[in-house]
Chain A
Amino acid sequence: MAEPQPPTIVEGATTGDVEDEVQATAKSAEDRKAAAAMSRLDARDDEASGAQVDQDAVNKAMQSLGGSGAAAAKADAKKVKIDAADVALLVDELELSKPKATELLKTHDGDAVQAMKAFVAVS
Chain B
Amino acid sequence: MPQPLSTKENSLFRQVIRNYEDKQYKRGLKAAEQILKKNPKHGDTMAMKALIMNQQGKTDEAFALGKDALMADMRSHICWHVYGLLYRSQKNFEEAIKAYKSALKLEPESAQIQRDLAFLQIQMRDFAGYIQSRSAMLQARPQIRQNWTALAVAHHLSGDLAQAEKVLTTYEESLKSPPSKTDYENSEAVMYKNTIIAEQGDYERALEHLKTISRHNLDRLAVMELRAEYLAKLDRKEEAEKAYRALLDRNPDHPDYYTKLLEVVNVAADDQAARKAVYDEYVEKNPRCDAAKRLPLDFLTGDAFREAAKAYLGLMLDRGIPSTFANLKHLYVDAFKKDTLGAIAQEYLESKKSSGEKAPSNGDPPKGEGAALYYLAQHYNYHLSRDLAKAMDFVNQGLELAPKNLEFHMTKARIWKHYGNTQKAADTMDEARKLDLKDRYINTKAAKYQLRNDNSEKALELMGMFTRPDSQAGPLSDLIDMQCVWYMTEDGETQARKGNVALALKRFHLVNGFFDVWVEDQFDFHSFSLRKGQIRAYVDMIRWEDQVREHPFYSRSALDAVNLYISMHDSKSLANGVNGTDANGDDAAERKKAAKKAKKEAQKAEREAAERAAKQDPNKAKSPLDENKKKDDDPNGLKLAATEQPLVEATKFLSHLLQYSPKFIDAQLAGFEVYIRREKYLLALRCLKSALDLDASHPRVHEQLVHFRNVLNTKLASLPAKVQEVIKSEFTALDASTDLKKYNADFQAKNSNSAPHVIAAIKAKKLLGEDQSKVEKELADVLSVKGIKFEDAKEVLALLRGWRSKEVDGFKKAAAEKWPEVTAFA
Out of A42, A64, A89, A95, which one reaches B720, CB within 8 Å?
A89
Complex Cα spacing A73 to B131, Å: 12
Out of B683, B689, B722, which one reaches A121, CB within 8 Å?
B689
For B88, B89, B175, B692, the residue with the greatest tally of chain A CB atoms inside 10 Å of its CB is B175
Out of B55, B111, B112, B682, which one reaches A120, CB within 8 Å?
B682
Complex Cα spacing A95 to B675, Å: 11
**CB–CB B651/A119 < 8 A:** no
Q: Which A-chain residue is minimally distant from B172 (CB atoms)?
A: A61
Q: Which of these binds chain A: B142-150, B394-402, B783-791?
A: B142-150
**CB–CB B115/A18 < 8 A:** yes
Query: Residues 72-97 of chain A: 1 if any B CB is under 8 Å from the residue's CB, otherwise 0?
Result: 11000000000000100100011100
Complex Cα spacing A24 to B181, Å: 32
Q: Which A-chain residue is minimally distant from B684 (CB atoms)?
A: A120
Size bin of chain A's contact surface = 35 or more
Chain B residues with Cβ below 8 Å from A55 are 143
For A55, A61, A68, A94, the residue with the greatest tally of chain B CB atoms inside 10 Å of its CB is A61
CB distance from B80 to the nearest CB of A (A): 14
* Number of CB contacts from chain A to chain B under 8 A: 136
Complex Cα spacing A49 to B148, Å: 12
CB distance from A51 to the nearest CB of B (A): 9
**With an 8 A cutoff between CB atoms, is A54 at the interface?**
yes
Out of A2, A10, A60, A93, which one reaches B682, CB within 8 Å?
A93
**CB–CB B726/A120 < 8 A:** yes
**CB–CB B722/A113 < 8 A:** yes
Of residues 664 to 691 in B, which have CB atoms within 8 Å of A's CB atoms? 680-683, 685-686, 689-690
CB distance from B16 to the nearest CB of A (A): 12
**With an 8 A cutoff between CB atoms, is B457 at the interface?**
no
Chain B residues with Cβ below 8 Å from A60 are 174
**With an 8 A cutoff between CB atoms, is B328 at the interface?**
no
Out of A9, A48, A59, A94, which one reaches B524, CB within 8 Å?
A9
**CB–CB B155/A69 < 8 A:** yes
Given A9-B524, A13-B116, A61-B170, A52-B176 contact (CB < 8 Å):
yes
Out of A1, A5, A117, which one reaches B726, CB within 8 Å?
A117
Given A57-B174, A69-B160, A4-B625 contact (CB < 8 Å):
yes
**CB–CB A11/B89 < 8 A:** yes
**CB–CB B119/A42 < 8 A:** no
Chain B residues with Cβ below 8 Å from A5 are 524
Given A18-B527, A53-B143, A54-B174, A12-B680 contact (CB < 8 Å):
no
Out of B173, B720, B722, which one reaches A61, CB within 8 Å?
B173
Given A1-B517, A52-B177, A62-B142, A93-B680 contact (CB < 8 Å):
yes
Q: Which A-chain residue is minimally distant from B483 (CB atoms)?
A: A2
**With an 8 A cutoff between CB atoms, is A122 at the interface?**
yes
For A14, A50, A54, A119, the residue with the greatest tally of chain B CB atoms inside 10 Å of its CB is A14
**CB–CB B176/A116 < 8 A:** no
Of residues 102 to 123 in A, which have CB atoms within 8 Å of B's CB atoms? 112-113, 116-117, 119-123
**CB–CB B171/A61 < 8 A:** yes
Size of the B side of the interface (Cβ < 8 Å), in residues, is 67
CB distance from B655 to the nearest CB of A (A): 8
**CB–CB B138/A62 < 8 A:** yes
Chain A residues with Cβ below 8 Å from B175 are 52-54
A-side binding surface: helix, strand, loop or mixed?
Answer: helix
Chain A residues with Cβ below 8 Å from B138 are 62
**CB–CB B116/A12 < 8 A:** yes
Out of B89, B145, B167, B730, which one reaches A49, CB within 8 Å?
B145
Of residues 113 to 161 in B, which have CB atoms within 8 Å of A's CB atoms? 115-116, 119, 128, 131, 135, 138-139, 142-146, 155, 160
**With an 8 A cutoff between CB atoms, is A58 at the interface?**
yes
Chain A residues with Cβ below 8 Å from B682 are 93-94, 116, 119-120
Query: Residues 79-122 of chain B: 1 if any A CB is under 8 Å from the residue's CB, otherwise 0?
Result: 00000010011000000000000000000000110011001000
Chain A residues with Cβ below 8 Å from B253 are none
Complex Cα spacing A46 to B142, Å: 11
Q: Which A-chain residue is minimally distant from B629 (CB atoms)?
A: A1
**With an 8 A cutoff between CB atoms, is B347 at the interface?**
no
Complex Cα spacing A12 to B47, Å: 14
**With an 8 A cutoff between CB atoms, is A31 at the interface?**
no
Complex Cα spacing A62 to B139, Å: 7
CB distance from A105 to the nearest CB of B (A): 12
For A53, A55, A94, the residue with the greatest tally of chain B CB atoms inside 10 Å of its CB is A53
Query: Residues 157-189 of chain B: 1 if any A CB is under 8 Å from the residue's CB, otherwise 0?
Result: 000100100110011011111010001010000
**With an 8 A cutoff between CB atoms, is A17 at the interface?**
yes
Chain A residues with Cβ below 8 Å from B116 are 12-14
Q: Which A-chain residue is minimally distant from B139 (CB atoms)?
A: A62
**With an 8 A cutoff between CB atoms, is A29 at the interface?**
no
Q: Which A-chain residue is minimally distant from B174 (CB atoms)?
A: A57
**With an 8 A cutoff between CB atoms, is A30 at the interface?**
no
Out of A14, A45, A64, which one reaches B185, CB within 8 Å?
A45
Complex Cα spacing A1 to B626, Å: 12
CB distance from A52 to the nearest CB of B (A): 5
**CB–CB B163/A69 < 8 A:** yes
Chain B residues with Cβ below 8 Å from A69 are 131, 135, 155, 160, 163
Contact residues of B with A, CB < 8 Å?
Answer: 20-21, 55, 85, 88-89, 111-112, 115-116, 119, 128, 131, 135, 138-139, 142-146, 155, 160, 163, 166-167, 170-171, 173-177, 179, 183, 185, 481-483, 517, 524, 527-528, 531, 533, 625, 629, 651, 655, 662, 680-683, 685-686, 689-690, 692-693, 720, 722-723, 725-726, 729-730
Q: Lowest 7 CB-CB distances: which A-B pairs, in order?
A: A57-B174, A61-B170, A116-B726, A122-B693, A120-B686, A58-B142, A12-B85
20 further interface pairs, Cβ-Cβ under 8 Å (given A12-B89, A17-B111, A69-B163): A11-B89, A13-B527, A14-B85, A46-B143, A49-B144, A52-B175, A54-B174, A55-B143, A60-B174, A61-B171, A62-B139, A62-B142, A68-B166, A89-B722, A93-B681, A93-B720, A112-B722, A113-B725, A117-B729, A122-B690
**A–B complex contacts, Cβ < 8 Å, 15 sampled:** A1-B481, A1-B517, A4-B625, A16-B112, A48-B179, A50-B144, A53-B143, A53-B175, A58-B142, A61-B142, A68-B166, A86-B722, A89-B720, A94-B682, A116-B682
